[in-house]
Chain A
Amino acid sequence: MSSNVSGRDFDDFYRATARRVVGYVYALTGDQGEAQDVTQEAYIRAWRHWSRIGDFEHAESWVRLVAARLATDRWRRLRRRQSIEAAERPPEPVAPPSEDTVLLARALKTLPVHQRQAVCLHYLLDLPVGDIARELGVPAGTVKSWLSRGRAALAEYLGRSPSPTLRKEGNGVR
């Protein structure tokens, strides 16, 4: 696994995909620090199994799956709680998210996890329904239903809390 060749492959893969993955996790969690942690952990795991994943056609999909599960599993919840309670972790110097991002993250959090994943994969990463169905292991019809419901729920939420962008441009979410 640690050969220079596979290391270069992994580095190329990471550079090509990490921004998409961190955007996905960010949309799922609404938390920059968590998006950073989860994304890096997912790629560490990918490297540990790189001899097999590296040949895989959809390695990015593998990383996204791991990241999505990390974002919701019990250890992460435990760690989040500890971080909040102990306030041990110095915050990274990161630019704060825009008001629109905060608003959309809040709206996404109102969706069930799978619906949220489907919406983010489709609208953030531009994945077609068939790819999402394969990634989430459900029929395409289910994905379409999730997207439809998710869209409606987001529109309703955002209609109640219009974003600065939408206010400025004088249009609502339809």
Chain B
Amino acid sequence: MSADLDQLFTKVRADADHVPLAAPSRLREAGDRRARRNRLAAVTVVAAAVVLGTVGVGAAVIRQGPPPAPSGSSGPSPFAPSPSSAGPSSGGVGGLGTVPPSSPPSSPPARAAGAACRAGDLKVESITSGGASGSTGYTVTVTNRSATMCKLAGAPALKWIKPNGSPATIPTTSQGRSDPVALQPGKRAEFIIVITNGFGGYDPSSPACANPVTYRRISAVVGGSLTLTGLVLDVRCDGVRVTTWTTVAG
């Protein structure tokens, strides 16, 4: 390397020194909060699985990603997380949390092909979480369980049940293409709910973190209410972003 490039890298080092970083105690607090939230979510899912199992409706499985390295490992590679599964809300580096939703008990009657999908046409296959560095995404995958093609347009609205029992709409912003998605029978489509993970790099006292809220008992509005069982959105800063529907290959 020439001395000139060395000089440029020296400038990078100097500029990087100006990047503000949180105190280590703040990072530990954020990590501990996340761990508590994940433990709570895991307990909730297990409880739901037990209830569902007793009435014969369904079963629940919690799938965990690979654990980090065993101690004494000679290098980081064997336990490094995969980029595609680096989920801060998933309970660990490289982990994925899957929330198995409940299934409607019967198929809906057939309708004309090409109509807008209704909640009864769709079965929620999975809700998986993943994310990185300040954001968590919950991918909601559905299957068209009806006998005809139907269409999904835009990003679905989300509703939740407040602690006092009243339903309310979750304020969201949508992102993605607005073209309707045609969903053939048996095929899958998905949308993603993205929230800031914890404080996501924000100063907790910043205006973006002034209205924290935990949304529970959430449903997507798709020609009716599509229950997203087990999903909890703990929004500390920023709002909730929802992507438009996209089809899933395969």
Chain A residues near B (Cβ < 8 Å): 1-2, 7, 10-11, 14-15, 18-19, 22-23, 26-27, 32-33, 35-45, 47-49, 52-53, 55-56, 58, 61-62, 65-66, 69-76, 78-79, 81-82, 85-86, 88-90, 92, 94-95, 97-98, 100-101, 103-105, 123-124, 134-135, 137, 151, 154-155, 158, 163, 165-166, 169, 171-174
Contact = CB atoms under 8 A, between A and B. Distances in A.
A97 B2 contact: no
B249 to A, nearest CB: 16
A9 to B, nearest CB: 10
Interface residues of B, number: 69
Contacts of B81: 45, 66, 69
A89 B208 contact: yes
Contact of A123 (B5, B68, B73): B5
B86 A70 contact: yes
A61 B202 CA distance: 26
A11 B34 CA distance: 18
Nearest to B201: A37
Interface in B187-227: 192, 194, 200-202, 206-208
B19 A69 contact: no
A44 B7 contact: no
Given A66-B81, A89-B208, A79 B12 contact: no
A125 to B, nearest CB: 9
Interface of B: 1-2, 4-9, 11-22, 24-25, 27-28, 30-32, 34-35, 68-73, 75-77, 79-84, 86, 88, 92-93, 130-137, 173, 175, 192, 194, 200-202, 206-208, 238-239, 241
15 contacts: A2-B28, A23-B16, A36-B19, A37-B200, A42-B133, A48-B31, A49-B68, A53-B68, A66-B86, A69-B80, A69-B81, A69-B132, A76-B132, A135-B76, A163-B4
A128 to B, nearest CB: 14
A105 B52 CA distance: 54
Contact of A65 (B8, B16, B80): B80
Contacts of A135: 75-77
Contact of A32 (B19, B72, B130): B19
A162 B59 CA distance: 63
Contacts of B28: 2, 7, 10-11, 47
Nearest to B2: A174
A35 B4 contact: no
Q: Which 5 A-B pairs have the closest CB atoms?
A: A23-B16, A41-B133, A11-B24, A73-B83, A47-B31
B34 A123 contact: no
A82 to B, nearest CB: 6
A97 to B, nearest CB: 4
Contacts of A81: 175
Contacts of B22: 40
B46 to A, nearest CB: 21
